[in-house]
Structure 1
Amino acid sequence: MTDQNSTLRARRRAQTRRTIQTHAVRLFSERGYDATTMNDVAEAAGVSPMTVYRHFATKEDLVLVDQHGELVAERIVASPAGGPLVRRIGGALIEAATVLTGDADRRLLLARLQLMISTPALRARHLDNQYALQQAVIGALGDDAADPDTAFQAQAAASACLAALHTALVRWAEDDGRTDLPHLIGKALAAVFGDDAIGPAR
Structure 2
Amino acid sequence: MDSLRDRRRAETRRAVQSHAIRLFVEGGYGATTVEDVAKAAGVSAMTVYRHFATKEDLVLYDEYDPLTAAALLARPEHEPLVRRIGGALVDTAAGAVGAGAVGASDADKALLLARLRLMISTPALRARHLDSQYATQSAIVAALCGDPPDPDDELRVRCAAAACLGATHVALVRWAENDGRDDLPALIRTSLAHAFGTAF
TM-score normalized with structure 2 length: 0.92
CA contact (8 A) 2:145 2:153 kept: no
SS at match of 1:141: helix
Identical amino acids, percent of aligned pairs? 61
Is 1:93 the counterpart of 2:89 in the alignment?
yes
- For residues 126-145 of structure 1, what are the structure 2 equivalents within 5 Å? 126-142=129-145
* Distance of 2:145 and 2:78 partners within structure 1: 10
* Distance of 1:181 and 1:83 partners within structure 2: 22
Amino acid at match of 1:25: I
- For residues 1-12 of structure 1, what are the structure 2 equivalents within 5 Å? 7-12=3-8
Pairing partner for 2:175 from 155, 172, 175:
172
* Distance of 1:151 and 1:57 partners within structure 2: 29
Partner of 2:11: 15
1:58-92 deviation line (CA, Å, top 9, x unaligned): 10000001111111001001112242111110110
Q: Which runs of 5+ in 2 are unaligned?
A: 99-103
* Distance of 1:195 and 1:99 partners within structure 2: 23
RMSD between superposed Cα atoms in Å: 1.5
Amino acid at match of 1:153: R
1:152-189 deviation line (CA, Å, top 9, x unaligned): 21111111000001000100010010111101100000
- For residues 85-164 of structure 1, what are the structure 2 equivalents within 5 Å? 85-102=81-98, 103-104=104-105, 105-142=108-145, 146-164=149-167
Amino acid at match of 1:81: E
TM-score normalized with structure 1 length: 0.91
SS at match of 2:43: coil
Residue 150 of structure 1 and its aligned partner are, at CA, apart by 2.4
Residue 146 of structure 1 and its aligned partner are, at CA, apart by 4.3
* Distance of 1:185 and 1:107 partners within structure 2: 18
Amino acid at match of 1:111: A
CA contact (8 A) 2:170 2:191 kept: yes
Partner of 1:71: 67
SS at match of 1:47: coil
Stretch deviating more after TM superposition (57-66 or 74-83)? 74-83
1:22-56 deviation line (CA, Å, top 9, x unaligned): 00000000000000000100010111111111001
- For residues 15-34 of structure 1, what are the structure 2 equivalents within 5 Å? 15-34=11-30
CA contact (8 A) 2:145 2:154 kept: no
* Distance of 2:156 and 2:45 partners within structure 1: 44
SS at match of 1:129: helix
Count the aligned residue pairs: 192
